[in-house]
Structure 1
Amino acid sequence: MRVMGKSRIVLIAALVALGAVPHATANAQPAGQVVAVESLPAAATAPDSARAERLIYRSTTANDEPTTTSAAVYFPAGEAPEGGWPVIAWAHGTVGLGDECAYSIAGPAAVDRDWAYLGTWLNQGYAIVAADYAGLGGPGEHPYLNGVAEAHNVVDAVRAATAQYPSLSNKWVAVGQSQGAGAAVTTARYATEFGGPTLDYRGGVATGIPAYIEDAIQLLGPALPPVPLSSHLTAYVLYILSGLRTTYPTLDIDSFLTDTGRTWLTRAQSTCIGPLGEDLATTKPTLASFFTRPLADIPHLHTLLTGYMGLPESGYNRPLFLAQGLEDTDVITPQTLRYAATLKANAQPLTFHTYPTDHNGTVNASLTDSIPFVRSLFA
């Protein structure tokens, strides 16, 4: 019998209630503990993978609460080298907030881009562990752009996969794009601390980095110019509001929203990025129409936002590769350039490249430089 997502969690809870699973055992599972192994649907299976499975494992969500989440694991062709396949921990871009949007269920939102990118890494001889992030395909809501929670999910996915599959090495790097770039950068900062002595973290790669988004989010409110943004940018704002509501329930985010804002936020919590973007492109709501009062009414808002989604500016103990498209309008490119300059000024181990590409184009364009960078990390 194959059970996926929240259905599996309901089943486990029912077994606990019936006494089939002892309460102490169910509650004491450590982060990275494998709960189940499942087959992947075709939509979530990388075409270049020789074998692929879905792991259900224990991890952490907002406010360090324990949870159960999932990841896709892709294996390259051939026999594993001595010591096992080195691991790429893939932190994916925005797919949405609904369970059916999870990477290990629906696959990537940018199918051609991601499969080409992951296929390149597989063909280079790396296994890939792609965490879904807490709340996607599992219990609870997804705390979108909560960097520390996502870092726990990525590290725990690697811990679960390397424990489950003897053919995987404990040597790994974090690689991410867009939302996943923020997750990969935060993972890079905390990988050694979160991973402990059983994992050998080597470095990180991130493209399309959402740096200093908190500077823009603090300006949200009814006084914004009544001009529609691109549908994707509006969707990102809705996802961030949902993430704030999940991470900080006492803020009462709904009290800042109009009926229009609450309606769109409810829709965003169950709709994947593609359909939500299409709805927003048709309706063209303005951000100003979402708010009854400014988010700046929240005391110490910028400090709160920085703790929630801000990217670490120091503390990296392994090499970090950042790549940014100069025509990227999905993130704030000048802020990404500012972030790279800040890391350099703070003497962090940064390699930084720019490309004449947009948000999607940078992913594969950067491979010319990121492949030798990652190869050197495992040398």
Structure 2
Amino acid sequence: MTASNPRELSIVPRIGAGLLGVLVIVAGVLLVVRPLTALLAVLAALCLALVVGAIVSLRGGRGRPVRRIVAGVLLVVAAVCVFAAPDVIRALPTLCALALGLGAVRLAGTAVGRRARPVDGTDAEGTPASRGERVRAGLAAAACVLAAGPALVWPDAASVAIAVVFSIALVVLGVALVVTGIRGRAPRRFGVRQGSIGHVRSEPRGAGAVLRTIGAVGALVAAIVATAGTVPLVASAASVDDFYAWSGPARAQPGTVLRVAPYTGEVPAGAAALRVLYATTDGEGAPALASAVVAYPTAAPTDGERPVLAWQHGTTGVARSCAPSVGADALTELAIPGISRAIERGWAVVATDYPGQGTHGAYPYLVGEGEGRATLDGIRALRAIDDAHASEHAWIWGHSQGGHATLWAGQLAADYAPELDVLGVAALSAASDPLALASRITTGDPSPLASLVTSLVLVPYAEAYPDVELDATVHPAGHGIVEAFASRCVIEAPTLVSVLVGASLSWDAPLYRIDVSEGPTHDRLAQNRADGIVPAPLFLGQGTDDEVIPIELQRTLAAELCAADRTVEVHEYEGRSHMGVIAEGSPLIDDLFAWADAVTLGQAPANC
């Protein structure tokens, strides 16, 4: 009579294993292209593992206080995972990097010749690691060390990677279950054999050894590629220096210059340039810090004080390092169209970064009060620089986001900075209606670029307004991804990571759950619409082929102003794109200075 094999399964467990395997495979295949949903599954698996661990601890020794404490801790952690799910998922890349570091330490121990860890504790010292095992452990340890860095630098990409790896692991587990069901035999412990003393580690041979080696080499190659891509991208990003940090008094008169330093970037011919740190106020009137770059002719002014040109830049990002004054191109023609002409005319130029760019604090992206106040206080700061010889007479010009800031500065000038004489306001390709822009983005086909742009608005709005909450507007697994998007500058190479991550989410549930038809987000966006009612002649200019700001926004604003008998000159430039309309050679620049000349002569240009 033949003894039965304890690993042989009866028909019912075989069928159960096969069906479960099919279900797990299907789940893995579905989740692999749905990273957000997969991250929720990762959290669910983590909670389940914690609960199972607590149950095992209690069953292992009900009378032992230590086991009860361990079980209690595991259950508390599981509860935290449930009730603070977005925060836990946000922390997964950091936890992953920590796990990689711990894994590297353990693998390095094997690689340098330590004994392999016993499987079940029957051999207290374990068995010596073989040469092949040591080599594979060394490769894997190096892969872990290299992978930890990119996981911390690119938390959004790391989140997607965690989701993909988890999904693939489900597929592998499902295949193993199906094989078990077909063969009718429970798998033996991975990498072990039955010995005379107990279970000990066995060196894999043949195909097993080859597969393990290929896996270790593949992991190392992938980690090298990730690190090699990370280093140049990080090195290319601008960094904020100590100039933008301020530890002095928290309150100062708006427009007060707190610090100046030479600007070392490209400067127009015949001009001197400085970086300026100055006091301003945020949208609620609280003290804030802002930085700017200023330029003025080196020649002495011929008519006493100089007219001021306040320029407001377009979208560069909402992180501190996205401040134009941080880089070397803040005073080029690409950054400020017509700046060389302005210097030749004897004008002094100030270009604010707005609060939160360069400086610490919340960035008022498309928050009109904050943008407008920073603009007007920038003019005040320029006037406080003796060598600039800046007058109270100011032009206020801006493009895109800067067009929105320009309109708001014009609207606020009479009340906020009554000592300034606003000569004229020029809003170019202006994002005048944030609500209309948000409606266009959220109702159109989702795209990686739309996901990035939405984060630039949503994160600052959540900081500025207590009633706009990320919990209510972002997928529970997407908080960290959205915050990572908002941490990068749109004009720098790392934004490519955001675009790729956004593309990976295209088949999943929507990253954003924003209702712009009603509710707090709708109200705050509507609150920041610029009405264009400014105390000076107004110039509106935009390209008809603008791919960022619909030309309808300018047409709607112009129609409203013309109906109200406001002094406005409107220009549309056939075939010009969002950036092309302010590029060198664009007719807009000639029209803009011709309009300024007419205003200077006392005319009130309008073409309604």
CA distance in 2, matches of 1:41, 1:100: 16
Secondary structure of 2:539's aligned partner: strand
For 1:86-97, list aligned pairs within 5 A: 86-97=307-318
CA distance in 2, matches of 1:322, 1:165: 33
Residue 236 (1) aligns with residue 453 (2): yes
2:392 aligned residue (170, 189, 198): 170
> What is the one-letter code of the residue matched to 1:304?
R
1:328 aligned partner: 546
CA distance in 2, matches of 1:91, 1:236: 19
Quick one: structure 1 residues 258 and 331, their matched pair in 2 at CA, closer, same or farther if it must change by over 3 Å? Answer: same
CA distance in 2, matches of 1:207, 1:349: 16
Residue 148 (1) aligns with residue 369 (2): yes
CA distance in 1, matches of 2:415, 2:309: 18
CA distance in 1, matches of 2:549, 2:444: 19
CA distance in 2, matches of 1:74, 1:111: 11
1:212 aligned partner: 433
2:287 aligned residue (35, 53, 66): 66
Deviations 1:261-285 (A, max 9, x none): 4233211332111235422433324
For 1:295-334, list aligned pairs within 5 A: 295-296=515-516, 299=519, 301-307=521-527, 309-314=528-533, 316-334=534-552
CA distance in 1, matches of 2:459, 2:282: 14
Quick one: structure 1 residues 260 and 344, their matched pair in 2 at CA, closer, same or farther if it must change by over 3 Å? Answer: farther
Deviations 1:198-236 (A, max 9, x none): x22211111111132303425776xx566425x2x4432
CA distance in 1, matches of 2:577, 2:509: 27
1:203 aligned partner: 424
> What is the one-letter code of the residue matched to 2:384?
A
Quick one: structure 1 residues 111 and 372, their matched pair in 2 at CA, closer, same or farther if it must change by over 3 Å? Answer: closer
CA distance in 2, matches of 1:225, 1:136: 30
- TM-superposed CA distance for 1:195, in Å, is 1.5
CA distance in 2, matches of 1:111, 1:260: 41
Secondary structure of 1:196's aligned partner: coil
After TM superposition, the score normalised by the length of structure 2 is: 0.54
Residue 266 (1) aligns with residue 513 (2): no
2:411 aligned partner: 189
CA distance in 2, matches of 1:110, 1:3: 21
For 1:13-162, list aligned pairs within 5 A: 26-42=249-265, 45-48=266-269, 50-107=271-328, 113-114=334-335, 117-162=338-383
Residue 374 (1) aligns with residue 582 (2): no
CA distance in 2, matches of 1:57, 1:118: 22
Q: If each structure's strand is expressed as a fraction of its own residues, which one has the higher value?
A: 1
1:19 aligned partner: none
Deviations 1:28-76 (A, max 9, x none): 411111111112232xx43446200011110012322211111111113
Deviations 1:226-265 (A, max 9, x none): 6425x2x443221110121111133322332125542332
CA distance in 1, matches of 2:394, 2:311: 10
Deviations 1:86-134 (A, max 9, x none): 1100001111112111121125589662255322322333211011101
After TM superposition, the score normalised by the length of structure 1 is: 0.84
Secondary structure of 2:334's aligned partner: helix
Identical positions, percent: 24
- Bigger CA radius of gyration: 2
Quick one: structure 1 residues 172 and 367, their matched pair in 2 at CA, closer, same or farther if it must change by over 3 Å? Answer: same
- TM-superposed CA distance for 1:361, in Å, is 1.5
Quick one: structure 1 residues 325 and 370, their matched pair in 2 at CA, closer, same or farther if it must change by over 3 Å? Answer: same
CA distance in 1, matches of 2:552, 2:495: 24
> What is the one-letter code of the residue matched to 1:176?
G
1:361 aligned partner: 580
1:249 aligned residue (458, 466, 489): 466
Question: Is the 1:90–1:176 Cα contact (8 Å) retained in structure 2?
Answer: yes
1:340 aligned partner: 558
The worse-fitting range, judged by mean Cα deviation, of 118-127 and 240-249 is: 118-127
Give the aligned CA root-mean-square deviation in angstroms. 2.6
- Higher RCO (CA-CA < 8 Å; seq separation 6+): 1
CA distance in 2, matches of 1:72, 1:28: 22
Deviations 1:313-336 (A, max 9, x none): 53x221010101000011121122
CA distance in 2, matches of 1:52, 1:168: 14
Deviations 1:279-307 (A, max 9, x none): 2433324596212x333486364332111
Count matched residues: 352
Which runs of no fewer than 5 residues in structure 2 stay unpaired?
A: 1-240, 602-608
Quick one: structure 1 residues 361 and 109, their matched pair in 2 at CA, closer, same or farther if it must change by over 3 Å? Answer: farther
Quick one: structure 1 residues 137 and 266, their matched pair in 2 at CA, closer, same or farther if it must change by over 3 Å? Answer: same
2:169 aligned partner: none
> What is the one-letter code of the residue matched to 1:35?
L
Secondary structure of 2:295's aligned partner: strand
CA distance in 1, matches of 2:461, 2:322: 19
Question: Is the 1:220–1:295 Cα contact (8 Å) retained in structure 2?
Answer: no
Quick one: structure 1 residues 288 and 215, their matched pair in 2 at CA, closer, same or farther if it must change by over 3 Å? Answer: farther
Quick one: structure 1 residues 303 and 266, their matched pair in 2 at CA, closer, same or farther if it must change by over 3 Å? Answer: closer
1:3 aligned residue (222, 242, 255): 242
Deviations 1:316-368 (A, max 9, x none): 22101010100001112112211111111122111111102111111242111
Secondary structure of 1:57's aligned partner: strand
Quick one: structure 1 residues 126 and 329, their matched pair in 2 at CA, closer, same or farther if it must change by over 3 Å? Answer: same
- TM-superposed CA distance for 1:147, in Å, is 1.2
> What is the one-letter code of the residue matched to 2:319?
G
Question: Is the 1:40–1:105 Cα contact (8 Å) retained in structure 2?
Answer: no
Secondary structure of 1:4's aligned partner: helix
The worse-fitting range, judged by mean Cα deviation, of 45-54 and 169-178 is: 45-54
Secondary structure of 1:135's aligned partner: coil
Secondary structure of 1:32's aligned partner: coil
Deviations 1:175-201 (A, max 9, x none): 10111011111111222322122x222
Quick one: structure 1 residues 260 and 360, their matched pair in 2 at CA, closer, same or farther if it must change by over 3 Å? Answer: farther
Question: Is the 2:355–2:374 Cα contact (8 Å) retained in structure 1?
Answer: yes
Quick one: structure 1 residues 324 and 358, their matched pair in 2 at CA, closer, same or farther if it must change by over 3 Å? Answer: same
2:100 aligned partner: none
> What is the one-letter code of the residue matched to 2:555?
L
Question: Is the 2:366–2:434 Cα contact (8 Å) retained in structure 1?
Answer: no
